[in-house]
Amino acid sequence: MDTTQRTDQQRSADRRRRELLEAADRVVLRDGPQASMNAIAAEAGITKPILYRHFGDKGGLYAALAKRHTDALLDSLRAALDAPADRRERVESTLDTYLSAIEARPQVYRFLMHPAEGSTGGDQGFDVGKHSAPLLRRMGEELAQVIEERLDLGPGSQQLARVWGHGIVGMMHAAGDWWLGERPCSRAELVRSLADLLWGRLAAAGDKIGGPGF
């Protein structure tokens, strides 16, 4: 098989994988955590063994969907952090970007963060912690990198940036999960309250010379 044939086959496989993930997204938007491999296969117009061939099992499909949605969310968060505004406004914009994303697609959020709620039949044993924890860790590391690049935190800055990155992601996740379930206040009120919580040492930190301020 020559290089051109291999490239064409890879493109075809990548296209087919995107189509299957789009079918899975449609089912998740409809069914949330109860989305099943059977329903996704039916939506894609294929049999479940073919779906397994592409993703292995529900865990493999979950990981692919998680990467797809996390990539998009991280792009949005970076854009909010880099927007031309003062630091407080960017902090609020970043918090609002995350909360807006989970509010706009709550079924997708619940599938990614609470998939065990819908484990039935052949999907039994799907471990929420095994799959959602790496997603949160990735977001924490990405935010830590942004913080380290943009703020002058002095000695031990790398470790402090990682503490803040994971801490902020944990706060957003826990507060957002609670808020999405109970809706005790408006999104704007939650954003202001969380920003107030963060606005201690963050407000006093200096921007790195020559780089964009956080």
- Confidence grade of residue 213 (pLDDT, cut at 50, 70, 90): low
- Confidence grade of residue 125 (pLDDT, cut at 50, 70, 90): very low
Q: What is the pLDDT of residues 128-154, one digit of tens each?
A: 556 677 888 988 998 899 888 888 888
Mean pLDDT of the chain: 84
Q: Are 61 and 27 in contact (CB under 8 A)?
A: no
Ramachandran region of residue 174, left (φ > 0), alpha (ψ -120 to 50) or beta? alpha
Candidates 108, 120, 97; CA nearest to 36 is: 120
Q: Percentage of the chain surpassing pLDDT 70?
A: 83
pLDDT value of residue 124: 45
Q: Is the pLDDT of residue 126 over 60?
A: no
Q: How many CA atoms lie within 13 A of 208 on its CB side?
A: 14
Q: What is the pLDDT of residues 33-77, one digit of tens each?
A: 888 889 999 999 999 998 888 888 888 888 888 888 888 988 998
What is the distance between the alpha carbons of residues 150 and 95, in angstroms, rounded to a whole number? 17
Collapsing DSSP to helix, strand or coil, 162 comes out as: helix
Q: Is the pLDDT of residue 186 over 70?
A: yes
pLDDT value of residue 120: 46
Ramachandran region of residue 127, left (φ > 0), alpha (ψ -120 to 50) or beta? beta
C-beta atoms surrounding 28 within 10 Å: 29
CA distances from 201 to 48, 152, 164 (A): 52, 12, 11
Q: Is the pLDDT of residue 8 over 80?
A: no
- The secondary structure of residue 133, as a DSSP letter, is H
Q: What is the pLDDT averaged over residues 92-106? A: 94
For domain 58-207, the question of CATH label 1.10.490.10 is answered with no
Q: How many CA atoms lie within 13 A of 179 on its CB side?
A: 22
Alpha helices by DSSP H, the chain: 3-31, 37-44, 48-55, 58-81, 87-104, 106-113, 128-150, 157-182, 187-198, 201-204
pLDDT value of residue 199: 85
